[in-house]
Amino acid sequence: MRYLVLSDVHANLTAFEAVLKDAGKLGTDYEFIWCLGDIVGYGPDPNDCVDLLRSMPHLCLAGNHDWAALGRLDIRTFNADARKAVLWTRDHLSDENLAYLDALPTTFVLGEFTLVHGSPRGPIWEYILDPLVAALNFPHYQTPYCLVGHTHTPSIFKQLDDKGGCDIIAPTYGETIQLDQHHQIINPGSVGQPRDSDPRAAYAMLDIENLTWEFRRVTYDIKSVQGRMREAAMPERLINRLDHGW
Ligand code: ZN
């Protein structure tokens, strides 16, 4: 069974649609979507993104921006631009979509995979950006593989030994990776706001029977999203960063 694995859509409908188109046909090229959180926040299309995800067979985890939109996090820890986007998102989400976000789980386990937004020991908040933090997280989940989002950076952290040894593997595109039985923490990157200096939308395809993983990137019409953000009077810094992928 093939899963389309995506994360951090951040209310960017144009990027989300480009990913779905690139991924192929539901039922033929993949059967199910795993979304690792932050479906909303920063972008101009929160309801459209939640509606589109809800129209497809999927499982979605809660992210920090989803919780912020619900008022479940203290947004004083967010920077000023992110705070402004959170308040705009909160004002624009429908009651039905707020209720949907409110019911999202923070952790999900299926077979050999654990799914969280941030990290196994801090599912909403912790960022896994380096091998040291990844190594500290390996004892906090029971399956061989853990899928995470939150950093907006595609990567694989692979455990080398139980003394803290950990490798970071950068993504290669157009290549299928065979997952071995090492503990691994895998991040597909961000659909709607990449932060690895590549502005293309990121996602991944996972075959859970053959244990293969493929990082993918797709271009989308960034200008049209920026136009909607300007209409919504969103902070210029959030608009410009989409051009640069940071
Ligand atoms: Zn995010």
If we measure between CA atoms, which residue out of 28, 30, 32, 34 comes closest to residue 9? Answer: 34
Beta bridge partner(s), residue 14 = none
CB-count exposure of residue 181 (10 Å: 0-12, 13-18, 19+) = exposed
Distance in Å, CA 121 to ligand 1 centroid: 17
Q: What is the DSSP letter of 155?
A: E
Q: What is the pLDDT of residues 115-142, one digit of tens each?
A: 999 999 999 999 999 999 999 999 999 9
Interval between CA 176 and ligand 1 midpoint (Å): 25
Alpha carbon of 112 to ligand 1 centroid (Å): 24
Q: Which helix (H) or strand (E) holds 16?
A: helix 13-23
pTM for this structure?
Answer: 0.97
Ligand 1 centroid – CA 128 distance (Å): 12
Nearest to 61 by CA among 115, 125, 6: 115
> How far, in Å, from the CA of 65 to the mean position of ligand 1?
7
Q: Which residues of 26-58 are buried (b: 16+ CB within 10 A; e: fewer)?
A: eeeebebbbbbbbbbbbbbbbbbbbebbeeeee
Superfamily of domain 2-244: Metallo-dependent phosphatases (3.60.21.10)
190 by Cβ neighbours in 10 Å (0-12 / 13-18 / 19+) ranks as buried
Which pLDDT score, from 0 to 100, does residue 77 have?
A: 85
pLDDT for res 213? 98
How close is the Cα of 70 to the center of ligand 1, in Å? 15
- Residue ranges in the chain whose pLDDT is less than 50: none
Q: Rounded to the nearest whole angstrom, what is the distance from the C-alpha of residue 122 to the centroid of ligand 1? A: 14
20 CA to centre of ligand 1 in angstroms: 19
Ligand 1 centroid to residue 10 C-alpha, Å:
7
Q: Ligand 1 centre and the CA of 177: distance in Å? A: 25
154 Cα distance to chain centroid: 10
pLDDT at residue 108, rounded to an integer: 98
205: closest CA among 193, 214, 196, 195? Answer: 214
**Distance, CA 143 to ligand 1 centroid (Å)?**
24
The model's pLDDT over 14-31, given as tens digits with 9 standing for 90+, comes to 999 999 999 999 999 999
CA–centroid distance, 163 to ligand 1, in Å, is 30
Around Cβ 122, how many Cβ atoms within 10 Å? 17
